[in-house]
Amino acid sequence: MKFTKDHEWVEVAGDIATVGITAYAAEQLGDVVFVEVPEVGKTVKQGDQLAVVESVKAASDVYAPVSGEVVEANETLGDSPETVNALPEAGGWFAKVKLSNAAELDALMDRDAYEAFLGTL
Amino acid sequence: MSGIKIMRYLPLTPEDRADMLGVIGAESIDELFVDVPAVARRAQPVDLPFHAGELEVEREMLALSRRNRAASEGPFFVGAGAYRHHVPATVDHIIQRSEFLTSYTPYQPEIAQGTLQVLFEFQTQVAALTGMEVANASLYDGSTAAAEAVMMATRVTRRNKAVLSGGVHPQYVGTVETLAHAAGVATDRLPAAIDAEDAVIAAIDADTACVVVQTPNVFGTATDVTKIAAAAQAAGALLIVVTTEAVSYGLLKSPGEMGADIVVAEGQSIGNGLNFGGPYVGLFACKEKYVRQAPGRLCGETVDAEGRRGFVLTLSTREQHIRRDKATSNICTNSGLCALAFSIHMSLLGEKGLRRLALVNHQKAVKLRDALAAVPGVQVLTPRFFNEFAIKVPGNAAELVETLAANGVIAGVPFSRLDPAAGLDDVLLVAATETTPDGDIALFSKALSKVLAQ
């Protein structure tokens, strides 16, 4: 699993990257009440807005940690957005993106680096 | 006078202005307005005397106002989006209470329960009238509500085109086109048609986010849009139903019952005067599943820490003070006082009262129809109407309206005034309401017969 400074995580299997927000982000947001997932087929560039997550405290954009085409969106979040709080780094994933540039992954943090980054916040 | 300091009301000196212009790199204040087309900019100041006494100004303004003729001063048959109805004195009395008159946007529920409760009840009334699940706390007017509805449909469907029927009020079409154009949304407006709301069905394609129809439409024609709703939804598009005469909800099947996804209406007819064309009050309602994409304020019911009923603004994360440029709408203001007037009048009328009011309106329009249809040369064009309809007159309707005005009758709105390019110069839109005495109807038909016989 790789991480961004915007608190997204990405896990790659083959050329498919699953994207979500980290446990830290989910805890900071508080109770998530709504998630807007991207449309399947949408092409995103690294850093583009991918999804919107809304909690009782705030509404935030989720950015694409990698470039590619959205091949699947987690539609179950529509009915149960609380999964983002319960299982942020598993069932609370937002979208699956087919990688168009796997080299982008190299610049992302591993878990140790991300933990160290959190220590600086 | 030397030695006396003159206190100025203008806080900026020419030096202050020059400094600020220097910072932003502009030569003059006029440069800040270059985006406004040159023809719309005034090259010279308005020619007014430098000063005048209060009494002189009052006299001047009174003389100017006497050049108007108020709707209540004689036979008056203007509709086409703005309707003269009786507004009970109670409405003015209540809206002038300072708690309502001076209150601003109710961000803070702890100090604004009264305003919030009014908005909640307004929403409840709008939802009931339109037959929809959710209504917002109002928008500016019917036309801006229509434009907001189109933008909302593009967000819901992620498609980029709106199809508008030939029965939608041309000025509403203009407002929709203005906003859609700026937002990169395509619009396909069908040719003006008296009774062809169904024509939108054939224009739906894979890019269509929504179809916009109006009932009663600008020609007064009432249409059951159930089939249009089904066709739009089967193609993945939303049906937006526009109504300019809210009193019609008292008699006609509601847009919600006919399957509308979004309903927008002008609410001026209920509780609000003609007000020289504004401020009015835009009604906006939709299916609950689309509420997150809805524009404007939503007021919700809740309980406080002690379990007592209370009201708050809800789903505010859609709005621009939180979502900034990604807000569902950048119009967060509404015409709160007009919405209050609407709510008070609705409360006074009740369901039965509204129905009776609507019935009287229809009866008056039927009388007007019968009277005008009997005038030689006049043809009634609208097949099914509520309180207004279109007639075909021999010759030019705009000229006829001027001639009748000179004869003391304000006869209605020539369609060419709303849509000069439609080629319907002989079409006149006429309306009757509960404020139309039978005697005025007789005066109208008599004056019309006389003028046409000349």
Domains of chain B in start order, with CATH, are 73-86+351-453 (3.90.1150.10), 89-345 (3.40.640.10)
* Ranges of residues in chain B whose predicted pLDDT is under 50: 1
Inform me whether the pLDDT recorded for A56 exceeds 90.
Answer: no
For residue A7, give the CATH number of its domain. 2.40.50.100
The pLDDT value recorded for residue B1 is: 47
The pLDDT value recorded for residue B10 is: 76
* A13 is a domain residue: yes
The pLDDT value recorded for residue B6 is: 66
Give the length of chain A.
121
The pLDDT value recorded for residue B4 is: 62
In chain A, which residue's Cα lies nearest the Cα of B318?
A: A59
- Does the CA dihedral B231-B234-B236-B240 come out positive or negative? positive
Q: Report yes or no: A59 at the B interface, CB cutoff 8 Å.
A: yes
* A75 is a domain residue: yes
- What's the number of domains chain A is made of? 1
In chain A, which residue's Cα lies nearest the Cα of B326?
A: A61
pTM of this structure: 0.87
Domain assignment of residue A32, given as a range: 2-99+107-114
C-alpha distance across the termini of chain A, in Å = 21
Cβ–Cβ gap A58/B323 under 8 Å: no
The pLDDT value recorded for residue B345 is: 97
* A67 is a domain residue: yes
Q: Report yes or no: A79 at the B interface, CB cutoff 8 Å.
A: no
To the nearest whole Å, the CA of B318 is away from the closest chain A CA by 9
Mean pLDDT, residues A42-57 taken together: 91
CA–CA distance, B6 with B428 (Å, rounded to integer):
58
* A119 is a domain residue: no
Q: Report yes or no: B323 at the A interface, CB cutoff 8 Å.
A: yes
Inform me whether the pLDDT recorded for A68 exceeds 80.
Answer: yes
Mean pLDDT, residues A48-69 taken together: 90
To the nearest whole Å, the CA of B322 is away from the closest chain A CA by 7
The pLDDT value recorded for residue B159 is: 96
The pLDDT value recorded for residue B328 is: 79
The CA–CA distances, whole Å, from B399 to B182, B334, B442 equal 36, 37, 21
ipTM higher than threshold 0.90: no
> How would you label B40-50 residue by residue, b for 16+ Cβ within 10 Å and e otherwise?
eeeeeeeeeee
CA–CA distance, A18 with A12 (Å, rounded to integer):
6
Q: Residue A13 — pLDDT band, cuts 50, 70, 90? A: very high
* A40 is a domain residue: yes
Q: Decide: residue A69, CB within 10 A, 0-12 exposed, 13-18 middle, 19+ buried.
A: middle
Cβ–Cβ gap A61/B326 under 8 Å: yes
CA–CA distance, B412 with B410 (Å, rounded to integer):
6
Q: Residue A58 — pLDDT band, cuts 50, 70, 90? A: confident
